Structure 1
Amino acid sequence: MVTAATVGLSGALGGTAFAGAGDAAAPVVTRAALDPSLVTGRGANVDFAEQEAENARTNGTVIGPDRTPYTLPSEASGRKAVKLTPGQYVEFTLPGRANALTVRYSIPDAPQGGGITAPLDVSVNGAKRKAMTLTSQYAWLYNQYPFSNDPNADLLHPDWWITECSCVPNATTPAPTITKPFRPSHFYDEQRLLLGRTYHAGDKVRLTVPAGSNAAWTVVDLLDSQLVGAPHVVPGAANVLAFGADPFGRRDSAAAFDKAIAVAKRARLKVYVPPGTYQVNRHIVVDDVTIEGAGNWYTIIKGHEVALGSPAPDGSVHTGVGFYGRDASAGGSHNVHLSGFTIEGDVRERVDTDQVNGVGGAMSDSTIDGLYVHHTKVGMWFDGPMTNLRVTNNVIADQIADGLNFHTGVTNSVVAGNFLRNTGDDGLAMWSEKTADARNTFDHNTVQTPVLANGVAIYGGADNTVSGNLIADPIREGSAIHAGSRFGAEAFTGRLSIADNTTVRSGTYDLNWKIGLGAVWFYALEKSIDADIEVVGDHFLDSTYNAIMFVSDWPVKDRYSITNVHFKDLRIDGTGTSVVSARAAGSASFQNVVARNVGAVGVNNCGSFNFPSTGSEFTLTDLGGNSGGGTTGPWLAPWELPNTITCDDHPPVVAPPAPSAW
């Protein structure tokens, strides 16, 4: 059988403009490891330039491409990176003025888990500027869901069928003997650095692992460079320093924040948090207040994860830094405005009951803008009912679980212009548990390298929109865009719009089902999906397996179906297998869907696996304008319509070429 590892041999970068490793006469700027011209108008409008290490000058070793889970290149942006040993370097040429860098990297775990620290020297034009201290204390998870920090642990659930999440029913057959460490993942972290002065286009930034480093290797994935403006000042505000906050982080400033908030609310002032690092080890409860920092490079609110003496009523066994609205059952919070600061957490393990998120609770009629949220469990988790929240222009990185989740009755809200990288679960999610999320929009966000699950996931709900996003490199147990009837979600009703998104290097291999998924996939596990679903104007690039997939799980395959899905004006450039894989009963229509570099039969139609003489239980309708294909001819051939059984449970995989201009 051809595996995901085979598909990983395809080129990870698109276009002839890309230089190889060691050939760095000019900087190679990418977006999601692609030529930016391929994703114009898609994703977040960020203020940094992304440069992949494999395109820079190095005396190290380029690793990858590889899309096999549990490997260092598979979790790298673009599925390639550069591996350095002590004494080796990677050197980037700045594409523009910059005074700040972000380095995405990986170093080994400690033999018994828990991480190590190791140095990395940063020089510009040959002169040493800074010494960074890298850490793997927030990386390296192992084993079965919800994972372990111990590389030597036995199976967490020895009676389970080997699986990554509780979404797959347990099996009665005990798991086989495992090789330790079992299923290592979540290798990467990132660190930011202010250089202390401004450098110019053409200047050389070299990252060197010093001789004698205690890290046997250091993997550099990419460098983001940017020009950070001067600190923002808010005159006439309630300044937290006036209430005893410590900007050097030596003592806890939570009480000072509470006092500043109380005074600001009475006097109708904003709260201002000047440059500094402030230690906060618990939730700051916010309601009817505006809190502004000096900018997320300057104002850092950082806390330890604190074990509770006894579990909280919500099941938490830890607390930590976070800004929380009041619980929806207490009326929630309103008129909260947070901007211009970093929330730096200390979460190193996944405990699903813990409320150790960067931002949480219920916040109606509120805004969150320009935050950097790092090392929390979930960057932002909102428990409704709540309405009218705008989340814009934030960076969420290195989370143990989701990047952002609208959970239970979030309505009329927008998430736009945000950049998310290295989440441990869904990047962006709407989860309509108990009460439907409705009339929300995820628009023009960038989601890169979610280690587990999906880039964008919609679990039930009504009249929601996913538009203009750029989603790259989902690693395992999910894909780029997912609509699922699962996790106890309310049914899909009204309309779901999936419009003008670009996905790249998605359509992953599902380790539970042992099949390839789609860049966009629909899953009817607990209910039929029969809302009006429109997938329009999307670009699915370099899909590891399929571009589009429909699934109902085997125990419910004759109960639930997926219908009323309409695809229009799509560009599909490269699939390892098919354009459409149907593994459910239902129907879909296709209009102006243009495909090229399709690796297998255009439509892999298994239906519900009953194989009746009347054809598949899944019907495709050709509305015209569909063209292109690959190794087996036109992707939507007349003989496949409307419901020809073309089922191949494990079709051969043909690695597609790198995406290129259409």
Structure 2
Amino acid sequence: MSRSIIPASRWSSRRPPRRRPPAVVASAVALATALGVLAGAPGPAAAGPATGGGSVVTRAGLDPGLVPGRGADVGFAEQEAENAATDGEVIGPDRTAYTLPAEASGRRAVRLTPGRYVEFTLPSAANAITVRYSIPDAPGGGGITAPLDVAVNQRRVRTMTLTSQYAWLYNQYPFSNDPAAGLLHPDWWITECGCVPSATTPYPSIPTPFRPSHFYDEQRLLLGRTYRAGDRIRLTVPAGSNAAWTVIDLLDSELVGPPRVRLAAANVLAFGADPTGRRDSAAALDRAIAFARRADLPVYLPPGTYQVNRHIIVDDVTIEGAGSWYTIVKGHEVALPTPAPDGSVHTGVGFYGRDAADGGSRNVHLSGFAIEGDVRERIDTDQVNAIGGAMSDSTIDGLHLRHTKVGIWFDGPMSDVRVTNTIIVDQIADGLNFHTGVTDSLVAHTFVRNSGDDGLAMWSEKVGNARNRFDHNTVQSPVLANGIALYGGTDNTVSNNLVADPVREGSAIHVGSRFGAEPFTGRLLISGNTTARAGTYELNWKIGLGAIWFYALDRDIDATVEVIGDHYLDSTYNAVMLVSDWPVKDLYSIRNVQFRDIRVDGTGTSVVSARSAGSASFRNVDARNVGAVGVNNCGSFHFTPAGSEFALSDLGGNDGGWLAPWLLPNTITCDDRPPVVPPPPPASW
């Protein structure tokens, strides 16, 4: 039993103040590995090629039998490339940030050199596929394009043109597209050298490219006909490809129905919209919306690609597409001649409600189309989100959002918005964020993959969010921060979600008193969620986070917090972590968190890690395959004769021996950095 005290120089955050999210940090080992990948060297690889039949269907890289009734109900079947037949090379598993395997679903993928293939067997009839992939950046940044042949039963049917123009970010927050860029903030704390470079003599050597990340993108393809279950989809990198390697992460296959037709509507073609995408259709959409409001009709966007390079302002209107595979609203990012009043220096495609300060919008209903942006850099002041503004009494259903800064960012106050059956992928920042005074709203059956920040978030900055629900959603592979994050608020619920593979500086589920958020009040319910391969290594603190992570930074967390029925599978470090930052550890605590009916299947270190004052209770929390010790209780690091400042209550039924009687209520069992024992794969309970 170790009782080492963490010196302030090791435990203190040492982070400069900035906008959310926190700065990116990395270890020298992770950096060296990522640089090898950048140069074309494979990441950690399995011995020899995969030889599977390719028909294995997973959900977030898991056996679907482990997650019944949890996550989004989606129309596609997910198949991991590492389970498919291939003559390529399986890379991973690896959870080290800044590596290709770490950002892959399930932490493994297949690396193909020109002439190599990976082949999937369709589990059911399909006429459309989505390929998640990575190809190298251009030497000077900005991305390349490269071909990928698609064959069915060894007959080529299409050639996809892959791109890395929306991938490959480098350096410190808010990141750069230039692999040769020097430090963006030379006065920030750098973990690699353990220093603030501007205050260091001699100036430390920071290799470039520095901290490459955000490697993956995905692309959809209609196959032109329906193929049967058992048919084989082969993805081959052509022999003449200019990409030194192509990494295939997964294939989603889907049977897409015919386009939806809406006759009694204001058809945008009648107002001059161009479905070929050659001419800008923004003004035509404005005219159609104005007419539809006068005539009390919906707006209809028939199949086609519509070029829109600015915001479409929506209020009291219904806009329907033919389906997100058929109707695509796509635009360029456009530099503004002068900054806008909100600080934006660019605009781009997006459907925006009016500003809340101007009364917001109401009765907006958007469905059945895709929004594709052109955002390749992160500028937090830019309003270049797919959906934005304030929309009360509104619905968003069946959209596909890609390549914008944030898929959906709502700035309240606003109430009663429903986001359902929507896919949000390949964002530079968050997938969705309820920001400031969003109330009585729902996000359900929405799928988020490859967000550049929190997948789903409620941020109660200045005005609290209240009575909102994130229910039955799937969040996979957020590159930075958390799968689902709550920053303050009242009576909110996170339920029945599936969250997997956060990459760095975050957890699957995060409850944080930080970023200037209003306090948690009332009841916070976290219920029926499953997490997988969650809990990243916090390289400032040099400790591993939990699959669920409570963080008291700005104030106490002392609302009624109930965590009921969650399953934490294959947690990289801890299943549960409760922590206060070192400078405020004697000011703020985390109190009275209630855990019950929890299953923990596999932890690299502990079931519970407490690094804060406070308390928690446990009833029917069952654990197995625990890597180090059931409870790592450091309290607030004073190690008093009376024990830890964090108290645990055993309310009965806690199986697996992880919560031994001698630990209660507050035995000090503080191991500064316990050894990590990778758990076996999760299995049926």
TM-score over 0.5 for the alignment?
A: yes
Partner in structure 1 of residue 16 of structure 2: none
Contact map agreement 1:371 1:394 (CA 8 A) in 2: yes
Contact 1:238 1:271 in 2 (8 A): yes
Matched ranges for 1:18-97 at <5 A? 22-25=50-53, 27-97=55-125
Tell me if structure 2 keeps the 8 A contact 1:390–1:414.
yes
Q: 1:485 to 1:619 in 2, by over 3 A?
A: same
1:647 aligns with 2:662: no
- 2:658 corresponds to which of 610, 635, 642: 635
Query: Is contact 2:53–2:120 with CA below 8 Å preserved after alignment?
Result: no
Q: Which amino acid aligns with 1:195?
A: L
Q: Choose which of 458, 467, 482 in structure 2 pairs with 1:430.
A: 458
| Native 8 Å contact 1:5 1:66 kept in 2 | no
- CA distance 1:4–1:340, change in 2 (3 Å): farther
Aligned partner of 2:500 in structure 1 is 472
Residue 529 of structure 1: how far off its partner (Å): 0.5
CA distance in 1, matches of 2:270, 2:631: 66
1:489/1:584 CA distance change after superposition, 3 Å: same
Give the Å deviation of 1:158: 1.0
CA distance in 2, matches of 1:596, 1:325: 48
- 2:589 and 2:49 map into 1 onto residues whose CA distance is 48
What letter matches 1:652 in structure 2? P
The answer to whether structure 1 residue 269 and structure 2 residue 297 are counterparts is yes
Mapping of 1:401-420 within 5 angstroms?
Answer: 401-420=429-448
Partner of 1:608: 636
Partner of 1:148: 176
CA contact (8 A) 1:4 1:544 kept: no
User: C-alpha distance in 2, partners of 1:91/1:25?
Assistant: 8
Matched, 1:442 2:442: no
Which AA in structure 2 matches 1:584?
Answer: S
Residue 286 in 1 paired to residue 314 in 2? yes
In structure 1, give the amino acid aligned to 2:669.
Answer: T
Q: Distance in 2 between matches of 1:328 and 1:257?
A: 23
User: Does the Cα contact within 8 Å between 1:145 and 1:163 map onto a contact in 2?
Assistant: no
Partner of 1:394: 422
Aligned in 2, Cα 1:260/1:311: closer, same or farther, shift over 3 Å? same
Structure 1 residue 124, shift from structure 2 partner: 0.4
Amino acid at match of 1:641: L
Work out the percentage of aligned pairs sharing the same amino acid.
77
Counterpart of 2:291 in 1: which secondary structure? Answer: helix
TM-score, length of structure 2 as denominator length: 0.92
- CA apart distance, 1:162: 2.2
CA contact (8 A) 2:437 2:460 kept: yes
- Shift in Å at residue 601 of structure 1? 0.9
Secondary structure of the corresponding residue to residue 329 of structure 1: helix
State the secondary structure of the residue aligned to 1:382: strand
Question: What CA distance in whole angstroms lies between the structure 1 residues aligned with 2:234 and 2:390?
Answer: 44
Secondary structure at the aligned position of 2:562 is classed as strand
CA shift digits 1:587-618 (9 cap, x unpaired): 00000000000001110001111111111100
Secondary structure at 2:344's aligned position in 1?
coil
Cα gap change, 1:176 to 1:646, in 2 (>3 Å): farther
Hey, what's the Cα distance between the residues in 2 that align with 1:446 and 1:163?
32
Matched to 2:401, the amino acid is: V
Give 1:177 shift: 2.0
Question: Secondary structure of 1:145's match?
Answer: coil
Distance 1:24 1:327 in 2: 53
CA distance in 2, matches of 1:331, 1:353: 21
Q: Separation in 2 of the partners of 1:86 and 1:364?
A: 51
- 2:531 paired with 1:503: yes
- Once the two structures are TM-superposed, the CA of residue 149 in structure 1 deviates from its matched residue by 0.5
- Contact (CA 8 Å) 1:56, 1:92: kept in 2 or not? yes
Describe the SS at the equivalent of 2:294. helix
Pairing of 1:286-435 with structure 2 (within 5 A): 286-435=314-463
Deviation (angstroms), 1:173: 4.8
Match of 2:20 in 1: none
Is the 1:389–1:412 Cα contact (8 Å) retained in structure 2?
yes
Residues 460, 489 of structure 1: 8 Å contact kept: yes
1:572 aligns with 2:572: no
CA offset at residue 465 of structure 1? 0.1
Could you tell me which amino acid in structure 1 is paired with residue 536 of structure 2? T
Q: Quick check: 151-160 or 448-457, which moved more?
A: 151-160
Q: Is residue 646 of structure 2 the alignment partner of residue 618 of structure 1?
A: yes
The residue type equivalent to 1:32 in the other structure is A
Cα deviation code 1:147-184 (max 9, x no counterpart): 010111111111111279xxxx9898558421211110
Distance in 1 (alpha carbons) for counterparts of 2:449 and 2:607: 27
Deviations 1:275-309 (Å, cap 9, x if unpaired)?
Answer: 00000000000000000000000000000000000
Q: Is this contact kept in 2: 1:499–1:537, CA < 8 A?
A: yes
1:508: how far off?
A: 1.1
> How large is the RMSD of aligned CA atoms in angstroms?
1.6
Query: What displacement does 1:236 show?
Result: 1.1
Task: State whether residues 239 and 271 of structure 1, in contact with CA within 8 Å, keep that contact through their aligned partners in structure 2.
Answer: yes
Q: Residue deviations 1:431-490, cap 9 Å, x none?
A: 000000000000000000000000000000000000000000000000100000000000
Contact 1:504-1:543 at 8 Å conserved across structures? yes
* Match in the other structure for 2:273: 245
d(CA) in 2 for partners of 1:178, 1:573: 39
> Which residue pairs with 2:4 in the alignment?
none
Aligned positions of 1:45-194 closer than 5 A: 45-162=73-190, 173-174=199-200, 176-194=204-222
Counterpart of 1:451 (choices 468, 476, 479) is: 479
* Distance in structure 2 (CA, Å) of the matches to 1:516 and 1:4: 17
Name the residue aligned to 1:17. Answer: none
Secondary structure class of the residue paired with 2:269 = helix
Q: Which amino acid aligns with 1:121?
A: D
Residue 218 of structure 1 aligns to which amino acid in structure 2? T
After TM superposition, where is structure 1 displaced by more than 4 Å over at least 4 residues in a row? 3-6, 169-175
1:220 and 2:248 aligned: yes
Report the equivalent of 2:580.
552
C-alpha distance in 2 between matches for 1:71 and 1:32: 19
Offset at residue 416 of structure 1 (A): 0.2
Secondary structure of the 1:265 match is: helix
Query: What is the one-letter code of the residue matched to 2:441?
Result: S
Structure 1 residue runs of 5 or longer lacking an equivalent are: 7-19, 629-633
**523, 529, 533: which one aligns with 2:561:** 533
Asked if 1:543 is matched to 2:566, the reply is no
Q: What SS does the aligned partner of 1:627 have?
A: coil
**What is the Cα deviation at residue 126 of structure 1?**
1.3
Structure 2 stretches lacking a partner, 5+ long: 1-26, 31-47
8 Å CA contact 1:533–1:564 kept in 2: the answer is yes
2: CA distance, partners of 1:376 / 1:646: 46
Most deviating of 651-660 and 175-184: 175-184
CA distance in 2, matches of 1:163, 1:233: 56
Q: Which digits, 9 at most, give the CA deviation of each residue in 1:198-225, with x for residues without a partner?
A: 0000101100000111000000000000
Deviation at 1:26, TM superposition (A): 5.8
Instruction: Tell me the TM-score normalised to structure 1 length.
Output: 0.95
Distance 1:154 1:479, change over 3 A: same
| Contact 1:144 1:163 survives alignment (8 Å) | no
CA separation in 2, counterparts of 1:148 and 1:455? 23
Which residue is equivalent to 1:561? Answer: 589
